Structure 1
Amino acid sequence: MKAIRSKFFIAFFLIAVLVAAGAVQTFANSSPVPGTVSEESAAGPKISQSMMPAAASATALQPVVTETGLISLSVDGLGTDSSGNIQVNKPAGATVRGAYMAAADVWGSNGNPGPLPNGAIELNGTPVNWSLHVKLNAIFGGPNHAWADVTSIVKPVVDAAPAGIIDIPVVETMYLDGSILAVIFDDPNQSVSNTIVLMFGAQNTTGDTFNVLFSDPIDKSDPNLGMEFSLGISFSYQLGPTGQESHVDINGQRLTSSAGGQDDGTLGGNGVLITVGGIGDSTANPPDPNASATDPRDDDELYDILPFVNTGDTSMVINTINPSNDDSIFFAGLSIRSAIAVVGEGIVLGPTTATNPVGTQHTVTATVQDDNGAPIVGRNVFFSIVSGPHAGLSSNNSTDANGHATFTYTGSAAGTDVIEASFVDSTGQTKTSNQVTKIWESTTPPLCPCPDAQACYSFDEGSGNVAGDSSGNGNDGTINGASWTGGRNGSGLSFDGVDDNVSIPVINSEEVSLSAWFYKNANDTKGYDFIFDGLRMHSNPQLREGFGLKFLKRTPDVIAFALVTQDASGNKRQRTASYNMGNSVGGWNHVAGTYNKTTGEQKLYVNGQLVRTVRHKAGNTVVPLTYYSDTKIGNSLSKKGCFNGIIDEVCLSNRALTDQEVQDIFNN
Structure 2
Amino acid sequence: MINAKRFLQIGAMIVTLAVSGMASASLTTFKTYVGNYGVSSDGWGGTSQSGTISASVPAGATVVAAYLYSAMYGSAPAMGDVNFNGTNINSWDQEYVNPIPPSLPNYFRTGRKDVTDLVKPTIDGGPGGVYNFSLRESDSRTDGEALIVVYELASLEKSTVAILDGGAALDGDTTTVNFADPIDTTDPAFFAEMRLGISFSCCNQKSNVDVNGNLLTNNAGNWDDGEQQSNGSLITMGGYDDDLLNPNNYTDDDERYNLVPFINDGDTQIKVDTNNPSNDDNIFVALFHVKGEAGFNEPPPNSDVPAPAPLAMLALALFGVMYRRRQG
Q: TM-score range by the shorter chain?
A: 0.7 to 0.9
Give the SS at the match of 1:312: coil
Give the SS at the match of 2:112: strand
Contact 2:144 2:232 in 1 (8 A): no
Counterpart residue identity of residue 88, structure 1: A
Residues 221 and 284 of structure 1: CA distance in aligned 2, closer, same or farther (over 3 Å): closer
**2: CA distance, partners of 1:219 / 1:208:** 27
Aligned to 2:79: 116
- Counterpart mapping for 1:201-216 below 5 A: 201-216=166-181
1:331 deviates by 0.6
Aligned to 1:141: 105
Aligned to 1:72: 38
Aligned to 1:222: 187
**1: CA distance, partners of 2:214 / 2:52:** 37
1:233 deviates by 3.5
Contact 1:64 1:198 in 2 (8 A): yes
Give the SS at the match of 1:348: coil
**2: CA distance, partners of 1:269 / 1:103:** 17
- Counterpart mapping for 1:553-592 below 5 A: none
Deviation track 1:3-35 (CA, whole Å, cap 9, x = no partner) reads xxxxxxxxxxxxxxxxxxxxxxxxxxxxxxxxx
1:226 deviates by 1.4
Aligned to 1:348: 301
Counterpart residue identity of residue 92, structure 2: W
**2: CA distance, partners of 1:268 / 1:83:** 16
Aligned to 2:20: none
Aligned to 2:278: 324
Q: Of the candidates 54, 57, 65, which is equivalent to residue 90 of structure 1?
A: 57
**2: CA distance, partners of 1:304 / 1:287:** 12
Residues 94 and 308 of structure 1: CA distance in aligned 2, closer, same or farther (over 3 Å): same
Residues 216 and 268 of structure 1: CA distance in aligned 2, closer, same or farther (over 3 Å): closer
**1: CA distance, partners of 2:245 / 2:201:** 25
Give the SS at the match of 1:116: coil
Aligned to 1:637: none
**1: CA distance, partners of 2:86 / 2:97:** 27
Counterpart residue identity of residue 63, structure 2: V
Structure 1 gaps of 5+ residues are 1-57, 292-297, 350-364, 381-397, 399-668
Q: Of the candidates 68, 93, 98, which is equivalent to residue 131 of structure 1?
A: 93
Residues 271 and 130 of structure 1: CA distance in aligned 2, closer, same or farther (over 3 Å): closer
1:269 deviates by 7.8
1:343 deviates by 1.1
**2: CA distance, partners of 1:205 / 1:328:** 10
**1: CA distance, partners of 2:66 / 2:117:** 8
- Counterpart mapping for 1:392-471 below 5 A: none
**2: CA distance, partners of 1:283 / 1:237:** 22
1:268 deviates by 8.6
Counterpart residue identity of residue 134, structure 2: P
Deviation track 1:548-607 (CA, whole Å, cap 9, x = no partner) reads xxxxxxxxxxxxxxxxxxxxxxxxxxxxxxxxxxxxxxxxxxxxxxxxxxxxxxxxxxxx
1:254 deviates by 0.8
Counterpart residue identity of residue 141, structure 1: P
Aligned to 1:307: 261
Residues 307 and 347 of structure 1: CA distance in aligned 2, closer, same or farther (over 3 Å): closer
1:211 deviates by 1.8
Which has the larger helix fraction? 2
**1: CA distance, partners of 2:174 / 2:187:** 27
Give the SS at the match of 1:368: coil
Residues 148 and 315 of structure 1: CA distance in aligned 2, closer, same or farther (over 3 Å): same
Aligned to 2:158: 193
Residues 324 and 370 of structure 1: CA distance in aligned 2, closer, same or farther (over 3 Å): farther
**1: CA distance, partners of 2:304 / 2:280:** 40
Give the SS at the match of 2:73: coil
**2: CA distance, partners of 1:377 / 1:215:** 22
**2: CA distance, partners of 1:177 / 1:348:** 36
Residues 237 and 307 of structure 1: CA distance in aligned 2, closer, same or farther (over 3 Å): closer
Contact 1:71 1:186 in 2 (8 A): yes
Contact 1:59 1:134 in 2 (8 A): no
Contact 1:246 1:259 in 2 (8 A): yes
**1: CA distance, partners of 2:169 / 2:218:** 22
**1: CA distance, partners of 2:28 / 2:249:** 30
Deviation track 1:333-360 (CA, whole Å, cap 9, x = no partner) reads 11211x21111245532xxxxxxxxxxx
Deviation track 1:519-547 (CA, whole Å, cap 9, x = no partner) reads xxxxxxxxxxxxxxxxxxxxxxxxxxxxx
1:59 deviates by 7.7
* Residue 282 (structure 1) aligned with residue 243 (structure 2): yes
Residues 73 and 346 of structure 1: CA distance in aligned 2, closer, same or farther (over 3 Å): same
**2: CA distance, partners of 1:316 / 1:59:** 16
1:133 deviates by 1.2
Structure 2 gaps of 5+ residues are 1-23, 319-328
Contact 1:59 1:201 in 2 (8 A): no
1:260 deviates by 4.5
Contact 1:347 1:369 in 2 (8 A): no
1:232 deviates by 4.0
Contact 1:234 1:271 in 2 (8 A): no
Contact 1:59 1:136 in 2 (8 A): no
Aligned to 1:451: none
**1: CA distance, partners of 2:116 / 2:215:** 35
Aligned to 2:17: none
Contact 1:122 1:171 in 2 (8 A): yes
Give the SS at the match of 1:367: coil
Contact 2:192 2:290 in 1 (8 A): yes
Contact 1:199 1:332 in 2 (8 A): yes
**1: CA distance, partners of 2:148 / 2:198:** 15
Aligned to 1:335: 289
- Counterpart mapping for 1:462-611 below 5 A: none
Counterpart residue identity of residue 276, structure 2: N
Aligned to 1:178: 144
Residues 108 and 304 of structure 1: CA distance in aligned 2, closer, same or farther (over 3 Å): same
Contact 2:143 2:200 in 1 (8 A): no
Aligned to 1:250: 211
Residues 154 and 324 of structure 1: CA distance in aligned 2, closer, same or farther (over 3 Å): same
Count residues with an aligned counterpart.
284
Contact 1:237 1:270 in 2 (8 A): no
Contact 1:348 1:367 in 2 (8 A): no
Aligned to 1:150: 115
**1: CA distance, partners of 2:286 / 2:55:** 18
Contact 1:93 1:163 in 2 (8 A): yes
Counterpart residue identity of residue 148, structure 2: A
